[in-house]
């Protein structure tokens, strides 16, 4: 496999990973809207997701910072919650797993790095 083919394969894999993370980010935003957070939270998550979709490096950084902060809040908040339903507990744990996975993939995955290296300018591989 030539360097170009390998690079394209990494790019496509990174594209799939980033698109999945961005889509799940919007889903979490919609869920948060229905559980009592403000519409501003949803708007921010949509903007970050659009940035991820187009390969904007600022969106990657914002997602990394946001997921690290939210993870930290969960760690300190979880023991303080007291009585929560089993469903709420499952949703929180699922969200923490998503935050960790998204952070690790966006920060350390070579396919994702290849996607952002293109900086959204590689139209031949998109679509």
Confidence class for position 78, pLDDT limits 50, 70, 90: confident
Contact (CB, 8 A) for 89 and 79: no
Both tokens of 17, joined, read: 């990973």
Report, as an integer, the average pLDDT of 86-115.
93
Cα–Cα distances (Å) from 118 to 12, 23, 42, in that order, read 11, 20, 27
Q: What is the pLDDT of residue 124?
A: 45
- pTM confidence score: 0.85
The kind and range of the H/E element at 52 are: helix 39-54
Tens digit of each residue's pLDDT (9 = 90 or more) over 17-60: 999 999 999 999 999 888 888 889 899 999 999 999 999 999 99
Cα–Cα distances (Å) from 20 to 82, 122, 123, in that order, read 33, 19, 19
Q: What is the pLDDT of residue 126?
A: 42
DSSP 51-73: HHHHT-HHHHHHHHHHHHHHHHH
Q: What is the pLDDT of residue 58?
A: 96
- Which residue is listed with tokens 């990973």? 17
CA atoms within 13 A on the CB side of 68: 11
Q: What is the pLDDT of residue 121?
A: 52
Q: What is the pLDDT of residue 119?
A: 57
DSSP code at position 79: G
Burial class (CB in 10 A: 0-12, 13-18, 19+), 102: buried
């Amino acid at each position: 496999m030539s360097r170009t083919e390998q690079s394209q394969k990494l790019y496509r894999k990174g594209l799939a990973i980033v698109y999945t993370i961005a889509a799940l980010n919007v889903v979490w935003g919609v869920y948060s809207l229905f559980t009592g957070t403000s519409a501003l939270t949803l708007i921010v998550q949509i903007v970050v997701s659009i940035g991820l979709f187009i390969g904007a490096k600022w969106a990657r950084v914002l997602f990394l910072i946001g997921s690290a902060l939210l993870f930290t809040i969960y760690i300190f908040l979880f023991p303080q919650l007291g009585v929560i339903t089993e469903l709420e507990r499952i949703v929180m744990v699922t969200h923490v797993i998503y935050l960790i996975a998204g952070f690790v993939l966006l920060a350390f995955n070579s396919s994702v790095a290849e996607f952002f290296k293109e900086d959204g300018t590689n139209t031949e591989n998109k679509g």
